[in-house]
Chains A and B, each alone.
Chain A
Amino acid sequence: MAAGLPTEGTNTQHPRAGDLARRDVPTCSLNEKVAEVRARAKEKGWNAAVVVNEERVVFGLLRSNELESDAHVLIEHAMRPGPSTFRPYVSLHEMLHFMVDHKLESSPITTGDGRLVGLLLQTDVAEAMRKEVQEAKKK
């Protein structure tokens, strides 16, 4: 709704996709080679990278499988093109369902015009939801 900007209302007490999306995910362009991106991602402790243009509009995604492909291949040939993206306001509950159903270890979170906000990891969503349930039990 607010493209990641603050909102008001009862929902604002619950974290959502944009709150948990990791902003420090490595990014790369279409014309880089797998070897360069893999090295950069690993150096930062990642096994994923998001393919963007100069305006950070998402073109594709490299998960662990793609990052392990032939080192000399161009990213535009190695990436998963047009991954499903989600807006920052999507609830964690909805995200977890989708990610589990579609066996996604991560999903790019973007603004309505396709610019990368960050990469949401299924493990982060599951952990946040587990904490929410624990908190709710305490009340």
Chain B
Amino acid sequence: MLKISTEEIKLITKYIYEISGIHLDESKKYLLETRLNALAEEQGCFSYQDFCKKAKADATKVIERKIVDAISTNETLFFRDTGPFELLRHKIFPELIDARSSKSPHLKTSLKVWSAASSTGQELYSVAIVLQELLGDLSKYTIKLSGTDISDAAVAQASSGKYNKFEIERGLARDKLTKYFTMNGQTWKVNDQLRSMVNFRKLNLMLPFTGLGKFDIVLCRNVAIYFTLEDRKKLFNKIADVLEPDGYLIIGSTESLTGICPRFIPKRHLRSIFYQLQ
């Protein structure tokens, strides 16, 4: 197991910040060693300094992408933290559908949701399930659920809609599992109908949000915690720019926007909080 020195930590964390905006420091030594060890050895490096050098020198950026994949993997489950999904089901979606359909009653009601930092897709598929259960017949709606993440590997898995039994078992009630997924050996695959509601692509939240359009709902949960205060301010201001005037923002249940983005006002519904533009 390759050990990382204090100097190397400075070097590597600076590099990781440059390529992803993820802010790590000496306290994350354990994380760095466990996540990057295999990759460093695979590249034939005997020190993290070598590894960093090799990654920077790689014009194809293959190593860089692998580093991002390794560092950004996070705990995510279907319906992780039921709060937001209850919120969507009982407050946000009904309110939104009401507002949108009364504005143009002759057109199909359009709903656009963005899961920023969608990771391996569980969050967005969970949103899709909530919507499917709420609306039943989706033909009267134009639904666009977009997921973006900085990790190519996460985007690839999200797009494939395939999960192993460990990823699936928690959070998904048996009835939802059999209704929306098909089992093949030890892998579960999301069914076509659900899959057709979502799309995933790569996006670095530090860069401009080109080509995204505007959204009715944005979920940005448990990703800002990895950014510096300054970057969080920039991030949420950018999100405010792509949110419809009456749109909704949901962040992680232990996160706060106080002092970060005054454009958003927190509102409470039962045990959850969501934000809307002033």
Partners in one complex: no
Q: Name B's A-contacting residues (CB within 8 A).
A: none
Question: Taking beta carbons and an 8 Å cutoff, which residues of A are in contact with B?
Answer: none
